[in-house]
Amino acid sequence: MAHPWIAERMEHFDSSGIRKVFDLAAAMTDPINLSIGQPDFAVPAAVQEAAVKAIHENKNGYSPTQGIGALREKLQARVQAQYAHTMRDVFVTSGTSGGLVLALLALVNPGDEVIVFDPYFVMYKSLVGLTGGTCVLVDTYPDFRIDLDRVAAAMTKRTKAILFNSPANPTGATASDEEVRGLARLAAERNIALISDEIYSLFHYDRPFVSPAAYNPQTLVIDGFSKSYGMTGWRLGFAHGPRDIIQQMIKLQQYTFVCAPQPMQWAGIAALDVDMQPHIDDYRRKRDLILAGLSEDYEVTRPGGAFYVFPKAPWGTADQFVHKAIENRLLIIPGNIFSRQDTHFRISYAASDATIGRGLEVLRKLARERP
């Protein structure tokens, strides 16, 4: 029985299935870990040095809630050069997840509906529930493309926002320019907030990244340093969007996260000058390595970004298949954590070539040993 003090909103949260796999990995000897959604490369040396320098210079206290001026100015200049929106402001968040929390709390009232694409990042449904909103799922199977007719059909008078993620977790799918433009224009026509989670924007392999903010100046963008620079534990993100919305998010941050960690903000300034292209090129190569290794035995849609592949389980449910993989010391994530469907599973190729090779061996073996 639940403790009588626990709030009803906690019913929207379950112990993350991903976290359970992480815990399992910690208890296993020499697992083949293709489950972790974080880069396997080190934080660039210049970024590490900037963080250490800030700590030694005693820049360890609270920063302004909206972030230190030097980082905000650098981010604002980049955003302004890209979009030239007269009322687009930027501020520094305590991680990209923190930015998503602030965005939804600032925008969504109890009873409002938020459109989310299925499969979705595991946090989205829970955060919508936290606000008292209702998550309306729009199916993107089998190829993870956005059908604008489905989106329009899902809209009602209660629709407040669309939560969009490209490149996407867990599929690695990248929306086409036509999909991005169409979604941006549809949101503008219906006066619906468009929240674009762009944490994987640097990991875009086959064509240039395009944000819906390019077509809809009211788009609220959530981004950060965690994936791009391997800084997942440093909790440094940023958001940019319409000034009125950003000011409300800053107010919420003041009363929740207070600010992003100050030493990490000074490191963020250095990060923005680091060329990450060699790592991006390497992850493109790893993507192709994974696809080649799965091609004979799995139905898989070619991902255009992030560092995930989302194949269809060759037999049984995805949950059953993943349990069999774990028995073979291969850690992957069942798709039902991200979806209403239990048909696919997520592989992260943010791993060494040796680990990827071992994982592919197990996956080929499991596909060919169909029960």
pLDDT in tens, 33-66: 999 889 999 999 999 999 999 999 999 999 999 9
Query: According to the model, what pLDDT value does residue 15 have?
Result: 65
Query: According to the model, what pLDDT value does residue 335 have?
Result: 95
Same domain, 54 and 35: no
List the single range of 22-31, 33-42, 140-149, 193-202 with lowest mean pLDDT: 22-31
pTM of the model: 0.95
The answer to whether the CB of 34 falls within 8 A of the CB of 359 is yes
pLDDT band at 19 (very low <50, low <70, confident <90, very high): low
| Inter-axis angle of helices 318-327 and 353-368, nearest 10 | 120
The token pair at 221 is 């963008």
Cα 178 to Cα 115, 138, 149, 191, 281: the distances in Å are 19, 18, 13, 20, 25
Give the contacts of 232 (CB within 8 A, at least 6 positions apart): 38, 39, 226
The token pair at 184 is 């941006």
The residue from 252, 271, 290 where one domain ends is 271
- Rounded distance, CA 83 to CA 242, Å? 12
Same domain, 352 and 314: yes
- Three-class DSSP category at 349: coil
Query: According to the model, what pLDDT value does residue 16 have?
Result: 58
pLDDT band at 371 (very low <50, low <70, confident <90, very high): confident
φ/ψ (deg, to 5) at 224: 180, -175
CATH of the domain at 161: 3.40.640.10
In a domain, 1, yes or no: no
Query: According to the model, what pLDDT value does residue 44 have?
Result: 97
Same domain, 218 and 71: yes
In a domain, 2, yes or no: no
Map tokens 């604002």 to a residue: 76
Q: Among residues of the chain, what percentage have pLDDT more than 70?
A: 96
Query: According to the model, what pLDDT value does residue 22 have?
Result: 65
List the single range of 10-19, 98-107, 216-225 with lowest mean pLDDT: 10-19
Q: What is the DSSP string of 273-312?
A: TS--HHHHHHHHHHHHHHHHHHTTT---PPP-BTTEE-PB
Same domain, 118 and 207: yes
pLDDT for residue 241 is more than 90: yes
Q: What is the DSSP string of 136-189?
A: EEEE-TTTT---HHHHHHH--TTEEEEEEESS-TTT-----HHHHHHHHHHHHH
pLDDT for residue 237 is more than 80: yes
Mean local confidence (pLDDT), 243-247:
97
pLDDT for residue 70 is more than 90: yes
pLDDT for residue 186 is more than 60: yes
pLDDT for residue 1 is more than 50: no
- Rounded distance, CA 42 to CA 263, Å? 18
Mean local confidence (pLDDT), 13-34:
74
pLDDT for residue 284 is more than 50: yes
Same domain, 209 and 138: yes
The residue from 220, 246, 271 where one domain ends is 271
pLDDT band at 17 (very low <50, low <70, confident <90, very high): low
Same domain, 319 and 282: yes
- Rounded distance, CA 371 to CA 368, Å? 9
pLDDT in tens, 75-88: 999 999 999 888 89
Query: According to the model, what pLDDT value does residue 14 have?
Result: 77
Mean local confidence (pLDDT), 362-367:
97
Same domain, 303 and 242: no
The more confident residue out of 37 and 249 is: 249
Q: Among residues of the chain, what percentage have pLDDT more than 90?
A: 89
Same domain, 172 and 287: no
pLDDT for residue 287 is more than 90: yes
Mean pLDDT, rounded, of the chain: 95
The residue from 242, 271, 300 where one domain ends is 271
Helix or strand holding residue 134 (H, E): strand 134-139
| Single-letter residue type at 131 | T
Cα 148 to Cα 10, 142, 178, 183, 214: the distances in Å are 33, 15, 10, 7, 18
The answer to whether the CB of 124 falls within 8 A of the CB of 97 is no
Tally of structural domains, the chain = 2
